[in-house]
C-alpha cells in the first residue's frame, strides 16, 4: 500500500511525466554554435526551462540555445514537430516527445540514434528506469531517446473517509473499490448530494485510452502484441470485453461514477471533483498530488495514494506516461545537441525538475535524494509504480489507433454500443490500419 500525504510540493505539471542517466558534458572547448530546443507546457514550466538553458550556456561559454516555445496542447506540439521533421528542417535540433509519439517518430526516421554518442562518452544508462528505456526508447536494436520525466496512473483516496467508514487500507481489487465506494457514497450523500464514489477519465480523448489500458491489463488482457516484428491487435479479447463492461458498469450499474464521465471527464474535471470534496476515489496522474495538498485545497492533508486496483487473479497496471528527449536527424549541430541532452538528464538538473516542478525523474538515483524527498516525499513510494508501468503500443500509426480505441470505448460508455460490439468493430478497424501500414 502506498499512503502518503504531500506536504511541501510547490509546483506542478499539467499531466503526463521520466528522465535519463549519466552526467557531465563534452568539453566546452569542443562546443560552439547554436541549437534550437522546442518545448511546450505550462508557463511555470517554460520559465524553468529558461533557467536550465541559462545554466547550460554558463557552463559552455560561446554556446547559444534558443527556446522555441510550443503550445500547451500535446496534439499541437506533436503537429508542430511533425511539420518541421517532414520538411527535413534542421530546427529544432532537440525536442521533447510524449512517450506515445515515439513509434511514429522512430518509424519515420526523424530521430538521430544515440548509441554512438553513448558509447563515445561511456554514458551510464543504468541509473534510469530500465523498463522505461527498454520498452519506449529502444527500438529495432537502437537507442532513440531518453526519458525526461515519467508518469503512471494512480489511485487517490480520501484517508479521512476510509477511516470514517471503518476501512484501514485502500482497495486492492476493483470489486473492493466498488463496495467501498458505494458505502461511502451512500453515507456522504446524506449531507452532500453531489458526492461520487469514484471519478476517472472517460471523455473521448487520449486519457480514455490510458484508463482503458489499465482496466484491460489489470484483467490479464492486452491491446496487442508483436509477432515477427509486426504488431497484431487483440482489442476484442474476452478479458478486454470484461474490462470494458466493468467500466460501463461503474457508471450505469453501480452508479458510483457520474453520468458525465463519458462526456466531460478529463484530468482536470476529475481532479477538481475530488479536490472539492466530492469524491472518495480518483484515478489520475502524479501531478494532482501537489494540487490536492496546496494550502487552498479543501482536501489538504486528507489524501492518500495507492496502486490502481486489479481484477481477481491479476496484477495492478498503470499506464506509462511521460516525456522523452531526442535529437533531430537533420540537426546541423548534433554534438552540441547531445551535450544539451546530457545536461538535461544530469543528476542536478533532474533533481531541480523534481523539486521545482514536481516532475517524477527518470533517474532512479534521484528518488533517494534527501532534498527531493523533503520537497516531494511521495516520490519514494511511486518508484515501484513507474517500474511496472505499461506503455501504450509503440507503433508508427499510434495516433490513428488511439482514435479508433477512443471512439469505440467511449461509445460503450455512452451506452450506444455493447462492449462486445464496440471492441469487435475496433478490432476490424485496427486490423485495417495495420494492413494499411504494412
Is residue 144 located within the same domain as residue 124?
Answer: yes
The HSE-up count of residue 247 (CA atoms within 13 Å, CB side) is 35
- For position 27, what pLDDT does the model report? 42
Is residue 286 located within the same domain as residue 145?
Answer: no
Indicate if the pLDDT at residue 11 is higher than 70: no
Peptide bond into 92 cis (omega under 30): yes
In a domain, 82, yes or no: yes
- For position 190, what pLDDT does the model report? 97
Confidence of residue 1 (pLDDT cuts 50, 70, 90): very low
Question: Which one, of 389, 373, 235, 237, lies nearest residue 307 by Cα?
Answer: 389
The better pLDDT of the pair 3, 134 is held by 134
- For position 24, what pLDDT does the model report? 42
Is residue 216 located within the same domain as residue 282?
Answer: yes
Confidence of residue 10 (pLDDT cuts 50, 70, 90): very low
Cα distance between residue 269 and residue 230, in whole Å: 38
98-119 confidence digits (pLDDT tens): 999 999 999 999 999 999 999 9
Is residue 75 located within the same domain as residue 126?
Answer: yes
DSSP-derived secondary structure for 56-125: HHHHSTTEEEEEEE--SSHHHHHHHHHHHHHTT----SEEEEEGGGHHHHHHTT-B---HHHHHHHT---
The percent of residues above 70 in pLDDT, for the chain, comes to 93
Confidence of residue 383 (pLDDT cuts 50, 70, 90): confident
Confidence of residue 384 (pLDDT cuts 50, 70, 90): confident
Collapse the DSSP code of 153 into the 3-class scheme (helix H, G, I; strand E, B; otherwise coil) and give the result.
Answer: coil
In a domain, 9, yes or no: no
Which one of 255, 277, 306 terminates a domain?
A: 306
- For position 378, what pLDDT does the model report? 78
In a domain, 431, yes or no: no
In a domain, 430, yes or no: no
The percent of residues above 90 in pLDDT, for the chain, comes to 80
Cβ atoms of 322 and 362 within 8 Å: the answer is yes
3-state helix, strand, coil in the chain (%, to 5): 45, 15, 35
In a domain, 185, yes or no: yes
24-44 confidence digits (pLDDT tens): 444 444 788 999 999 998 888
Is residue 350 located within the same domain as residue 288?
Answer: no
Is residue 367 located within the same domain as residue 250?
Answer: no
Question: Which one, of 353, 335, 336, 413, lies nearest residue 48 by Cα?
Answer: 353
Cβ atoms of 141 and 287 within 8 Å: the answer is no
Is residue 227 located within the same domain as residue 330?
Answer: no
In a domain, 393, yes or no: no
Indicate if the pLDDT at residue 361 is higher than 50: yes
Average predicted confidence (pLDDT) for the chain? 91
Is residue 142 located within the same domain as residue 159?
Answer: no
Cβ atoms of 153 and 308 within 8 Å: the answer is yes
Mean pLDDT of 169-174: 97
Q: Pairing relation of β-strands 303-306 and 154-158? A: antiparallel
Is residue 340 located within the same domain as residue 256?
Answer: no
In a domain, 109, yes or no: yes
- For position 408, what pLDDT does the model report? 98
Is residue 266 located within the same domain as residue 345?
Answer: no
Confidence of residue 290 (pLDDT cuts 50, 70, 90): confident
Mean pLDDT of 314-335: 96
- For position 385, what pLDDT does the model report? 87
CA-to-CA dists, residue 374 to 37, 172, 284, 352, 415, angstroms: 31, 28, 23, 13, 46
Which one of 358, 376, 394 terminates a domain?
A: 376
Number of domains present in the structure of the chain: 2
Backbone angles phi, psi at 125, to 5 degrees: -90, -10
Is residue 76 located within the same domain as residue 106?
Answer: yes
Q: Which domain covers residue 184, as residue numbers?
A: 154-306
Mean pLDDT of 174-189: 98
In a domain, 385, yes or no: no
For the domain that residue 130 is a member of, what is the CATH number? 3.40.190.10
Is residue 82 located within the same domain as residue 105?
Answer: yes
Amino acid at each position: 500500500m502506498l499512503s502518503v500525504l504531500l506536504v511541501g510540493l510547490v509546483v506542478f505539471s499539467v499531466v503526463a511525466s521520466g528522465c535519463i542517466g549519466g552526467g557531465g558534458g563534452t568539453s566546452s572547448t569542443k562546443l560552439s554554435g547554436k541549437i534550437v530546443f522546442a518545448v511546450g507546457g505550462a508557463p511555470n514550466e517554460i520559465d524553468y526551462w529558461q533557467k536550465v538553458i541559462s545554466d547550460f550556456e554558463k557552463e559552455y561559454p560561446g554556446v547559444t540555445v534558443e527556446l522555441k516555445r510550443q503550445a500547451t496542447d500535446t496534439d499541437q506540439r506533436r503537429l508542430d514537430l511533425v511539420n518541421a521533421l517532414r520538411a527535413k528542417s534542421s530546427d529544432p535540433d532537440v525536442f521533447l516527445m510524449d512517450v506515445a509519439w515515439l513509434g511514429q517518430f522512430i518509424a519515420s526516421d526523424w530521430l538521430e540514434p544515440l548509441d554512438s554518442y553513448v558509447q563515445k562518452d561511456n554514458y551510464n544508462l543504468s541509473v534510469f528506469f530500465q523498463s522505461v528505456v527498454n520498452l519506449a526508447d529502444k527500438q529495432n536494436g537502437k537507442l532513440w531517446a531518453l526519458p525526461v520525466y515519467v508518469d503512471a496512473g494512480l489511485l487517490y483516496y480520501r484517508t479521512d473517509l476510509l477511516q470514517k467508514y471503518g476501512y484501514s487500507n485502500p482497495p486492492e481489487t476493483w470489486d473492493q473499490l466498488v463496495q467501498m465506494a458505494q458505502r461511502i457514497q451512500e453515507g456522504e450523500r446524506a449531507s452532500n448530494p453531489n458526492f461520487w464514489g469514484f471519478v476517472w477519465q472517460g471523455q473521448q480523448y487520449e486519457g480514455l485510452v490510458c484508463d482503458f489500458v489499465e482496466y484491460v491489463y489489470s484483467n490479464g488482457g492486452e491491446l496487442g502484441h508483436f509477432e515477427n516484428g509486426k504488431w497484431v491487435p487483440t482489442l476484442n479479447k474476452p478479458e478486454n470485453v470484461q474490462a470494458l463492461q466493468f467500466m460501463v458498469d461503474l457508471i450505469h450499474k453501480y452508479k458510483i461514477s457520474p453520468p458525465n464521465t463519458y462526456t466531460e471527464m478529463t484530468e482536470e474535471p476529475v481532479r477538481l471533483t475530488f479536490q472539492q470534496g466530492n469524491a472518495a476515489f480518483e484515478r489520475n496522474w502524479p501531478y494532482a498530488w501537489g494540487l490536492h495538498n496546496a494550502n487552498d485545497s479543501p482536501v489538504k492533508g486528507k489524501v492518500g495514494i495507492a496502486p490502481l486496483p486489479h481484477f481477481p487473479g491479476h496484477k495492478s497496471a498503470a499506464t506509462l506516461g511521460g516525456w522523452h528527449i531526442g535529437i533531430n536527424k537533420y540537426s546541423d549541430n548534433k554534438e552540441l545537441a547531445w551535450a544539451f541532452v546530457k545536461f538535461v538528464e544530469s543528476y542536478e538538473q533532474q533533481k531541480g525538475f523534481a523539486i521545482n516542478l514536481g516532475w517524477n525523474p527518470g533517474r532512479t538515483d534521484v528518488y533517494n535524494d534527501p532534498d527531493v524527498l523533503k520537497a516531494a516525499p511521495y516520490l519514494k513510494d511511486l518508484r515501484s509504480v513507474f517500474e511496472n508501468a505499461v506503455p501504450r503500443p509503440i507503433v508508427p500509426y499510434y495516433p490513428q489507433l488511439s482514435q479508433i480505441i477512443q471512439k469505440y470505448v467511449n461509445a460503450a460508455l455512452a451506452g450506444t454500443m455493447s462492449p462486445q460490439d464496440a471492441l469487435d468493430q475496433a478490432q476490424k478497424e485496427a486490423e485495417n490500419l495495420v494492413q494499411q501500414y504494412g
